[in-house]
Amino acid sequence: MSNLASFKADLIELLPSLRAFARSLAHNPALADDLVQDTLVKALANVERFEPGTNLRAWLFTILRNHYYSQLRKSKREVEDADGKFAARMATRPEQDGSVDLEDFKVAFQQLAPDHREVLTLVGASGCSYEEAAQICGCAVGTIKSRVNRARKKLTDLLGLDEEDASGLPSEARRIEDTASV
């Protein structure tokens, strides 16, 4: 098999992951697939820059996320919850029985900042190592680790999973206590 044919086969194999990563960033399926399409076009235009034997997934994910942030800066079209769907859904808090409806999870996930969504997806879902995620995001491994922690904490709050702390007080009462001590 030629190198180009092998490259093509690898791209086809990675397409589902590329789409899933794009969806985590863009949320809207059509926009996410536009991102993937642009990524493929850029990858093919720059195929000579890819070194065979190196990490194709990281290369593609990097192109995709850079393109996403570039588009985001240009258009500023990502206005969260423009139609109020989040507020409507989250008016009913998730069950506190240790499970969360997947749709509720997705709604909460989309409330995260893009850099939080991307690290959670890379490390938590796509199987990237911290090192690979750092390479894709162009930052230090330590930055990825702390970003993952902050993202997880934020998501925990959004999902209402941290309703009770060690004091046994529900979060509302805890907030009152916290405020009182300021």
Partner 1 sequence: MDDGKDDDDMDAVLNKNSEDAGRRKGKSAANKSLITRNLRLAYSEVQNEGVPDHLLDILNRIPDGEGKKS
- Give residues in contact with partner 1 (CB under 8 A): 2-5, 7-8, 11-12, 15-17, 19-20, 23-24, 33, 36-37, 40-41, 44, 47-48, 52, 98-100, 102, 105-106, 109, 120-121, 124-126, 152, 155-156, 159, 161-162, 165-167
Residues 6 or more apart in contact with residue 114 via CB below 8 angstroms:
25, 68, 69, 72, 78
Residue 102 CB, nearest approach to partner 1 (Å): 6
Q: Give dist(CA 123, CA 137) in Å, integer.
A: 12
Name the residue nearer to partner 1 (CB basis): 76 or 165. Answer: 165
Name the residue nearer to partner 1 (CB basis): 54 or 92. Answer: 54
Backbone φ, ψ for residue 164 (5° rounding): -135, 130
Give 36: exposed, middle or buried? Use CB within 10 Å, 0-12, 13-18, 19+.
Answer: buried
Name the residue nearer to partner 1 (CB basis): 89 or 152. Answer: 152
